[in-house]
Amino acid sequence: MSERRPIIAGNWKMHKDHLEAIQLVQKLAYHLEEHDYEGQDIVVCPSFVALRAIQNLIQADKLPIELGAQTVHAEDEGAFTGEVSARMLARLDVRYVIVGHSERRALFGESDEVVNGKLRAVHKHGMVPILCVGETLEQRDAGQAVEIVAEQLRGSLAGVKLAEAQDLVVAYEPVWAIGTGRTASSADAQELCAAVRGVLAELFGQAIADGIRVQYGGSVKPGNVRELMSQPDIDGALVGGASLSSEDFALIVGHRRR
Ligand code: 13P
């Protein structure tokens, strides 16, 4: 198995205006100094309106943090009122773009086909998609978790070339664990993250699948991150609520030394 660099990303969702975002990143930079964060990728995904301010902050202070966006439009430009393109994000030094988050799928009707268009736009502009997949509670209770996640992966990754697949992060986020305080057990999370890797191997071959980073997301906190990250197929975390606290997010990043 190839060595995969851990990636901890904070998805701020629709929280923090640009001034609050600046303050959060400054505090995060301060708290990160108390922890061992070397050898990991640390990503924050603020709202679109804060991207420019955070880009400036990261560059000016040479912070060990990379910039991510929460969604994107598939087209480079056009009459799509209110949308933001991958080309625009790349110009802001955005490195990661979340696509297919379950909130986008459920609240904004994004199908696998739509997610696929976004993911390909992110690749086209040299950024790394964080592709979210995950089952609902009904689907889990019906024993369909693996099947649903496999279907989301196949649909969202249709037409992705082998060379592009290397630049991909997948986040397994069971919908029932998001914002609920209910985390998947580390065994369940490992089982599904291993299943994700199995589908990636079918699509791209084992060697590439072994290099793709798979995150777990859903109520990740300082107290549970270590056990989750110790699972063989979990290479990182996509953190919602706890990423809004600089102390907690720094503790999550620094989980190895506690
Ligand atoms: P919570 O960590 O708040 O459960 O959110 C998870 C999530 O949706 C990250 O994308």
Q: Model pTM?
A: 0.97
Domain contains 89: yes
123 is catalytic: no
pLDDT, tens only, 8-25: 999 999 999 999 999 999
Domain contains 74: yes
pLDDT at site 3: 87
Q: Which of 79, 83, 91, 166 is nearest to 118 (CA)?
A: 83
29: left (phi over 0), alpha (psi -120 to 50) or beta: alpha
Which of 136, 238, 251 to mutate for ligand 1's pocket (most ligand atoms within 8 Å of CB)? Answer: 238
User: What's the CATH number where 72 sits?
Assistant: 3.20.20.70
2 confidence band (pLDDT: 50, 70, 90):
low
Burial 115-153 (b: 16+ CB within 10 A, else e): bbbbbbbbbebebbbbbbbbbbeebbeeeebbebbbebb
pLDDT at site 258: 46
> How many folded domains does the chain comprise?
1
Cβ-contact 240, 8 below 8 angstroms:
no
173 is catalytic: yes
Domain contains 102: yes
Residue 36 pLDDT exceeds 50: yes
Domain contains 2: no
pLDDT above 90 coverage of the chain, percent: 93
Which of 7, 8, 12, 13 to mutate for ligand 1's pocket (most ligand atoms within 8 Å of CB)? Answer: 13
What's the whole-number average pLDDT of the chain? 96
Q: For ligand 1, which residues put their CB under 6 angstroms from it?
A: 11, 101, 173, 178-179, 217-220, 238-242
pLDDT, tens only, 107-162: 999 999 999 999 999 999 999 999 999 999 999 999 999 999 999 999 999 999 99
**181 or 50, greater pLDDT:** 50
**What domain range includes position 75?**
7-257
Domain contains 1: no
pLDDT, tens only, 63-99: 999 999 999 999 999 999 999 999 999 999 999 999 9
Can you give the length of the chain in residues? 258
Instruction: State the catalytic residue, choosing from 101, 123, 125, 255.
Output: 101
